[in-house]
Structure 1
Amino acid sequence: MKFQYLVGIASVFFLAGCTTMPRGDNADLIIHNGQVLTINTEMEVIDDGVVVVKDDTIIAVGGHELMQQYQAQKVIDAHDGIIMPGMVNAHNHLPMIAFRGLGEEGISNRLFAYFFPLEAQKLSRDLIYNATKLGAIELAQSGVTTYADMYYHMDEMAKATKEVGLRAVLGETVIKFPVVDAKTPYGGVEYGKKFVEEYKGDALITPAYAPHAIYTVSKEKLQEIHALSEQQDVPVLIHVGEFPNEEKRLEGETQAKTPIEYLSEIGVLDQRLVIAHGIHLTPNDQKLLKEADVGIAYNPMANAKGATGIAPAWEMYRADMRIGLGTDGPMSSNQVDLVKTLSYAANMQRLKYSDRTIMIPEQVIEMATLGGAKALHMEDQIGSLEVGKKADIAIFETQSANMMPNYNPYATLVYQANPSNIDTTIVNGKVIMENRVMQTVKLDDIRDNVDAFEADIAEFAKELAKKAIKSKSLMD
């Protein structure tokens, strides 16, 4: 069925008492000749669609008739491709792309016996900057326009992210032991304060705090971070419910039976919080999360690879909670793109509930776009192609063998597409990649840096794996 959906700046003129549009209005960018997935409230699709952009904002979305109403400095022909909102990766640790492919020897306790020691020995400002740049290029090449991240030296990550041109929510990690950017336990709090002050109000970077988890951050520090997030009005990112026995590692007395109950009990469960994973949640946990308006990042590939469980994502989606998709770090899923995650997101839920009718492709794409925006409380800015929202757009080509036939664009994206099918990526109205060619930075420019840190890490990582493989599992 074909839908014709016309929204645009005409609505502004109507509200002002004018019902006609002047011809030849100027714009900066027009995208046409594609199937537009608006991801608006009605999930409308425009088969011969047009998206019009002025500065960083979408000013019109509709049918081919818009080509007669607007002219632009740049016009992109989508060649019958799929035009959709840029995807939102709601949870990542992007600099860990420097370690991608390591620790695959069957190590049970990868987090404490392998991840943390590897980071302690090999992380640096320079590595974090270069690895972020590499990862951001891969994100752009796969149609991700916004990502959320928890890591260290967030100023370096912000610099690299802005050079590539992506949008990001970057949380400075707070943890109870010394790390690369904090010589003392919980040094990330002070680092985070400075980072928030530097980037608050930035067009692309939303600064945040990122207490690692309830078992690696004390109650007092969680409460301190919560107070700071209220004062500065910034998000808080945290891992919760990734492992089945997290509450058993808590220090001090608590009446809480689950990590979510604990966060509620200590007064830090609110609308600024975004939890990653949320695998082990009770019905009461889900009720508390919804009441507090918390964002959730569902990471199906990483959770499957780590054998940590399957989150009740379908229940949360059906309850209209703020749930989006994430990849977790490049050592957890070995991916940063969401295209491969799409089918996992659906199929793991169907497996969990033994129901092949749930998580249909349309719902998965909504979760990967507007759902991620909602999880990050950014749905008023991004996540759908609607007038007034930021021009964060991805164009999939549909001429490759794997993209044909294209009966249902949602199914094509979820079950047929590869990251290489992304033709063009636009962030904040700026073309970041076009015809598969990066426009802001070149991969070749950082290749030598990648080769250098790979050579430096390889031998140490090999020896560390021999020790780590003897360590007891965190889930035991």
Structure 2
Amino acid sequence: MKRTLSLLAAGILLTGCSALAPQTNYNASMIITNGQILTINDHKKVINDGVIVIQDDTIIAVGDESLLSRYQAPKVIDAEDGIVMPGMINTHNHLPMIAFRGLGEEGISNRLFAYFFPLEKEKLSRELIYEATKLGAVDLAQSGVTTYADMYYHMDDMARATKEVGLRAVLGETVIKFPVVDAPEPYGGIEYAKDFIAEYQNDPLITPAFAPHAVYTVSKEKLQEINQLSQQLAAPVLIHVGEFGNEAERIEGNTEQLSPVAWLKEIGVLDSRMVLAHGIHLSQDDIDLIKAADASVAYNPMANAKGATGIAPAWDMYQQDIRLGLGTDGPMSSNQVDLWRTLSYAANMQRLKHEDRTIMIPEQVIELATIGGARALHMEDEIGSIEVGKKADIIIVETQSPNMMPNYNPYATLVYQANPSNVAITIVNGDIVMENRQIQNIDMTEMQKSVKVIEDDIAAFAKELSKKAIKSPSLMK
């Protein structure tokens, strides 16, 4: 670990702990020193023994130790030779489903309609969504995810919980053709979304969005209405597309059996505000349409493998410069909300699909988890890389644990060795959300009590539901 007399002297100045006089000439809020910085900028620059200077919510300088002679701050973090990188971005989730994590694992074929939806219908509530979102956001923060995109219900409660933990999120209010927990009428999510968007339109951490569930659960007319509203309100649209192979035949009015992507294009709603979750069953024509529309895709390899829904053509999309990010899907689909295991799945599923061990190298995978996710959410001007002018969404991954040693190639270390417990510090918008594995803004004891109440309430019903659901045939056949 590099330690010089000059650095020690600078550290004494920076901490401002002189007993003789208080420090009054700070020109930064926070400084990170002694890290292996993966900038993920256009040149993928790596800075050893690097320094990052933060003022309020923004990165104002990135470079070597010479910055220590120019900047002083009340908070100085020694990265201790750890890997310093942009916070990771989970581009597709259903975070409150973490309350149901581990359920329905008995080999149920029609898990979405025979298990997920009935479970939600019986047990979802505002309180559960709020408490489960807090749990999920803590899980994300401890694993180095600083931004996530989500499709679910009662998005105002999700936003409240997310902000309490301190994360950044794109939150899409679900719109679907049957009654749900926050909309007693079919498609009631549209009005709910309009109110939610109005409330959070200019929030520093929350980007409100529409989330029509899928092309086979939302009518043509409602998709067009949402598209018009998204234009008027400058709101993203999150939607499941190409998750199952038989979606074309399940689309109402799709007499020509157009693919889901071609259907979205045909009805005039495929545009740059749309993020397509999964994109497993895509043809080259579909990819061309996505590219032309400047739409995005959230690649969920671990969830897709667990659900046996297929392997998305992610390598093809990456090569063709599609806006492509990584996601976990909901906590009942991959049982994870962090991206660490998803990183290796992202590479290995593509290598298996193409029978080529040279593709999707670790540097490309980390790109997808950071700036790729930012591009997918059209937030690349704000987050996703460590560059001057961008928001200070930064994580430090320690490299002293046995599983992180040796660290010859930081990208390979992250993709194939690291796990959530290696994340030492999570910073979002210039604020420390997690430090030394401790969440800063949440009473963990109270949160654990709330989760136990939810678990006790759900367990018996979930067990009986599994017995019924296991008899339901798969909709994928």
TM-score computed with the length of structure 2 as normaliser? 0.94
Alignment of 1:400-411 (within 5 A): 400-411=401-412
Alpha-carbon distance in 2 for matches of 1:188, 1:211: 9
Corresponding position: 1:281 with 2:285: no
Shift of 1:337: 0.1
Alpha-carbon distance in 2 for matches of 1:359, 1:442: 40
Give the match for residue 73 of structure 2.
72
1:256–1:201: structure 2 CA closer, same or farther, 3 Å change rule?
Answer: farther
Alpha-carbon distance in 2 for matches of 1:269, 1:443: 42
Alpha-carbon distance in 1 for matches of 2:365, 2:65: 28
Give the match for residue 454 of structure 1.
455
Runs of 4+ aligned structure 1 residues displaced above 2 Å come to 253-257
SS of corresponding position for 1:70: coil
Alpha-carbon distance in 1 for matches of 2:155, 2:288: 33
Amino acid of the residue matched to residue 418 of structure 1?
Answer: N
Give the match for residue 250 of structure 1.
251
Give the match for residue 112 of structure 1.
113
Amino acid of the residue matched to residue 43 of structure 1?
Answer: K
Deviations 1:107-150 (A, max 9, x none): 00000000000000000000000000000000000000000000
Give the match for residue 93 of structure 1.
94
Deviations 1:236-277 (A, max 9, x none): 000000000101011124435210000000000000000000
Give the match for residue 368 of structure 1.
369
SS of corresponding position for 2:209: strand
Give the match for residue 324 of structure 1.
325
Amino acid of the residue matched to residue 392 of structure 1?
Answer: D
Amino acid of the residue matched to residue 261 of structure 1?
Answer: A
Shift of 1:450: 0.4
Alpha-carbon distance in 1 for matches of 2:125, 2:194: 20
Alpha-carbon distance in 1 for matches of 2:475, 2:403: 40
Cα pair 1:137 1:443 within 8 Å, conserved: no
Cα pair 2:248 2:254 within 8 Å, conserved: no
Alpha-carbon distance in 1 for matches of 2:35, 2:147: 22
Give the match for residue 356 of structure 1.
357
Alpha-carbon distance in 1 for matches of 2:50, 2:37: 5
Give the match for residue 389 of structure 2.
388
Amino acid of the residue matched to residue 65 of structure 2?
Answer: H
Amino acid of the residue matched to residue 102 of structure 1?
Answer: L
Corresponding position: 1:206 with 2:192: no
TM-score computed with the length of structure 1 as normaliser? 0.94
SS of corresponding position for 1:406: coil
Alpha-carbon distance in 2 for matches of 1:313, 1:442: 40
Cα pair 2:371 2:380 within 8 Å, conserved: yes
Alpha-carbon distance in 2 for matches of 1:278, 1:46: 35
Give the match for residue 187 of structure 1.
188
Shift of 1:474: 1.5
Give the match for residue 467 of structure 2.
466
Corresponding position: 1:125 with 2:132: no
SS of corresponding position for 2:426: strand
Amino acid of the residue matched to residue 373 of structure 2?
Answer: G
Alpha-carbon distance in 2 for matches of 1:319, 1:216: 30
SS of corresponding position for 1:216: coil
Deviations 1:276-315 (A, max 9, x none): 0000000000000001001110000000000000000011
Give the match for residue 34 of structure 1.
35
Corresponding position: 1:144 with 2:145: yes
What is the Cα-based RMSD across aligned positions, in Å? 0.8
Shift of 1:64: 1.0
Amino acid of the residue matched to residue 458 of structure 1?
Answer: A
Give the match for residue 379 of structure 2.
378
Alpha-carbon distance in 1 for matches of 2:35, 2:443: 27
Amino acid of the residue matched to residue 445 of structure 1?
Answer: E
Alpha-carbon distance in 2 for matches of 1:254, 1:28: 60
Alpha-carbon distance in 1 for matches of 2:321, 2:73: 38
Alpha-carbon distance in 1 for matches of 2:426, 2:442: 13
Give the match for residue 52 of structure 1.
53
Give the match for residue 18 of structure 2.
none
Cα pair 1:88 1:146 within 8 Å, conserved: yes
SS of corresponding position for 2:72: strand
Corresponding position: 1:442 with 2:443: yes
Q: Percent same amino acid at aligned positions?
A: 74
Alignment of 1:208-287 (within 5 A): 208-287=209-288
Alpha-carbon distance in 2 for matches of 1:435, 1:151: 31
SS of corresponding position for 1:399: coil
Shift of 1:424: 0.1
SS of corresponding position for 1:155: helix
Alpha-carbon distance in 2 for matches of 1:396, 1:27: 23
Query: Which range moves more in the overlay, 433-442 or 446-455?
Result: 433-442
Q: How many residues align?
A: 453
Alpha-carbon distance in 1 for matches of 2:158, 2:475: 29
Give the match for residue 164 of structure 1.
165
Give the match for residue 156 of structure 2.
155
Cα pair 1:350 1:359 within 8 Å, conserved: yes
Alpha-carbon distance in 1 for matches of 2:396, 2:292: 36
Give the match for residue 6 of structure 2.
none
For structure 2, the residue ranges without an aligned partner over 5 or more in a row are 1-24
Cα pair 2:29 2:74 within 8 Å, conserved: yes
SS of corresponding position for 1:324: strand
Deviations 1:199-252 (A, max 9, x none): 001000000000000000000000000000000001000000000010101112
Amino acid of the residue matched to residue 259 of structure 1?
Answer: P
Give the match for residue 197 of structure 2.
196
Alpha-carbon distance in 2 for matches of 1:68, 1:279: 51
Alpha-carbon distance in 1 for matches of 2:351, 2:365: 12
Cα pair 2:249 2:257 within 8 Å, conserved: no
For structure 1, the residue ranges without an aligned partner over 5 or more in a row are 1-23
SS of corresponding position for 1:173: strand
Give the match for residue 61 of structure 1.
62
Cα pair 1:254 1:262 within 8 Å, conserved: no
Shift of 1:348: 0.4
Alpha-carbon distance in 1 for matches of 2:254, 2:95: 35
Shift of 1:442: 3.0
Alignment of 1:406-425 (within 5 A): 406-425=407-426
Alpha-carbon distance in 2 for matches of 1:151, 1:240: 16
SS of corresponding position for 1:89: strand
